[in-house]
Structure 1
Amino acid sequence: MQSKRQQIIDILKERGNATVETLSKELDISSVTVRHHLDVLRSEGLVNEPVVRRRATSGRPQHAYSLTLKAGELFPKSYDNLAAQLLDEVKARYDTREVNVLFEGMARRLLADAPHPVDGDTVEERFDRAVQFLNQKGYVARWEQNLGGVVIHTCNCPYEGLARKHPELCNMDFNLIASLTGFTPERVCHVTAGDGSCSYLIREDVFNL
Structure 2
Amino acid sequence: MNHRQAEQTVQTVRRRILEILKRRKSATVGELARQLEMAPVSVRYHLDILQGDNLIQVSKVRREGNVGRPKQLYSLTKEANDVFPDNFAPLTAGLVAQLKKSLPPEQVEAAFCSLARDMAETFLEEDDLEEADLEVRLDQVTDFLNERGYLARWEKETHAEWQSPAQGDSYLLHTFNCPYAGVSSEHRELCHMDLSLMRDLVGRTCCRLDSLAEDGHCCTYRIQTGETAQERPVPAVEIPLIG
In structure 2, what is the equivalent of residue 113 of structure 1? Answer: 122
| Deviation of the 1:102 alpha carbon | 2.0
Unaligned runs of 5+ in 2: 9-81, 160-169, 229-243
**2:111 paired with 1:102:** yes
Q: Which of the two has higher C-alpha Rg?
A: 1
SS, match of residue 115 in structure 2: helix
Percentage of identical aligned residues: 30
Aligned equivalent of 1:90, options 96, 99, 119 = 99
Output the amino acid matched with 2:156.
Answer: Q
Q: For each residue in 1:182-207, what CA deviation from the matched residue of structure 2 results, as whole angstroms up to 9, or x when unmatched?
A: 10111111111111100101135548
| Deviation of the 1:101 alpha carbon | 2.5
In structure 2, what is the equivalent of residue 167 of structure 1? Answer: 188
The two structures have a TM-score, normalised by structure 1, of 0.57
Distance 1:156 1:78, change over 3 A: closer
Unaligned runs of 5+ in 1: 1-38, 45-72
Does the CA contact (< 8 Å) of 2:175 and 2:219 recur in 1? yes
| Deviation of the 1:175 alpha carbon | 1.0
Does the CA contact (< 8 Å) of 2:87 and 2:180 recur in 1? no
| Deviation of the 1:86 alpha carbon | 2.4
| Deviation of the 1:78 alpha carbon | 10
In structure 1, what is the equivalent of residue 156 of structure 2? Answer: 145
Q: Please, which moves more after superposition, 122-131 or 102-111?
A: 102-111
In structure 2, what is the equivalent of residue 189 of structure 1? Answer: 210
| Deviation of the 1:85 alpha carbon | 2.3
Q: Distance in 2 between matches of 1:204 and 1:147?
A: 13
Does the CA contact (< 8 Å) of 1:154 and 1:197 recur in 2? yes
In structure 1, what is the equivalent of residue 147 of structure 2? Answer: 136
4+ long deviations beyond 3 Å:
203-207
Q: For each residue in 1:57-95, what CA deviation from the matched residue of structure 2 results, as whole angstroms up to 9, or x when unmatched?
A: xxxxxxxxxxxxxxxx99xx9942232122212211211
- 1:11-50 correspondence to structure 2 within 5 Å: none
The two structures have a TM-score, normalised by structure 2, of 0.49
Output the amino acid matched with 1:122.
Answer: D
Greater RCO, CA 8 A, separation 6+? 2
Count of matched residue pairs:
136
Output the amino acid matched with 2:201.
Answer: L
Does the CA contact (< 8 Å) of 1:188 and 1:199 recur in 2? yes
SS, match of residue 177 in structure 1: helix
